[in-house]
Structure 1
Amino acid sequence: MTMAFVLKLCLAAGLFLYGTAASAATIEVTIEKLEFKPAVVTARPGDTIVWRNEDVMDHTATSKGSFDVVIPSGKSGSMVVKGDGVVGYYCRYHPNMKGRIELGR
């Protein structure tokens, strides 16, 4: 056996025994009574945020320069998280509605 073959075999065995990197999560935020619930979520790059609009009016989840998701009444909208840090967002139609995504690695 060559050294390269042994290294590949060890790597494959390690992945089998310990698994691969954690898979991406789906994080749900409900919009109800003009509020994002929960108002603060923690996410990692690759996770998906899904906003479910339970109100009778349309909303958005907007972060200037980052994302602008339109969420019609009774529907949902989503986006995949990128980057790290803290990202605040609001509804363009109802600017008093605010939320925050705390991004980690």
Structure 2
Amino acid sequence: MPLPMKSLPLLFALFWAGSGVAAATEYQVTIAGMKFSAPPAELHVGDVIVWRNDDIFRHTATARDKSFDIDLPPKSEGRMTIGRAGAVDFYCRFHPAMTGKLDVRP
């Protein structure tokens, strides 16, 4: 016998809860005083990073492997979803001494 349509959302919720799939987490990396704040230590594929530029200068968050390039005018934010695991070094294209590293787990 087929299930009533109103049961489908409940079944989906039960499947999702029991699937072991973790919900994505949102993190913030801030640029202030010509420096990136420390990236979070517990990054996973699917998490979101909000890059926030609190400086008066334009910056970027640019991956050395070219996997991302976020342009950040003064007092702005940019968002990205992490798409793959591994270590990724990043820098600011306008200020190459500004650097950081993301360590992403599966």
The alpha carbon displacement at 1:19 in A equals 6.9
Return 5+ residue gaps in structure 2 as ranges. 2-10
The alpha carbon displacement at 1:17 in A equals 6.8
The count of aligned residue pairs is 96
Q: Percent identity over the alignment?
A: 38
Return 5+ residue gaps in structure 1 as ranges. 2-10
Equivalences for 1:61-80 in 2 at 5 Å? 61-64=61-64, 65-80=66-81
Find the counterpart in structure 1 of residue 32 from structure 2: 32
Equivalences for 1:1-105 in 2 at 5 Å? 15=15, 18=18, 21-39=21-39, 41-64=41-64, 65-105=66-106
* Counterpart secondary structure, 1:95: coil
The alpha carbon displacement at 1:41 in A equals 4.1
- Kindly indicate whether the alpha-carbon contact (under 8 Å) linking 1:41 and 1:100 is maintained by their aligned counterparts in 2: no
Structure 2: how far apart are the matches of 1:80 and 1:13?
A: 23
* Counterpart secondary structure, 2:42: strand
Find the counterpart in structure 1 of residue 7 from structure 2: none
Q: Alignment RMSD, CA only?
A: 2.5
With 11-20 and 53-62 compared, the bigger mean Cα shift is at: 11-20
TM-score normalized by the length of structure 2: 0.77
Find the counterpart in structure 2 of residue 8 from structure 1: none
Runs of 4+ with >2 A deviation? 11-20, 39-42
TM-score normalized by the length of structure 1: 0.78
In our comparison, the structure showing a higher alpha carbon Rg is 1
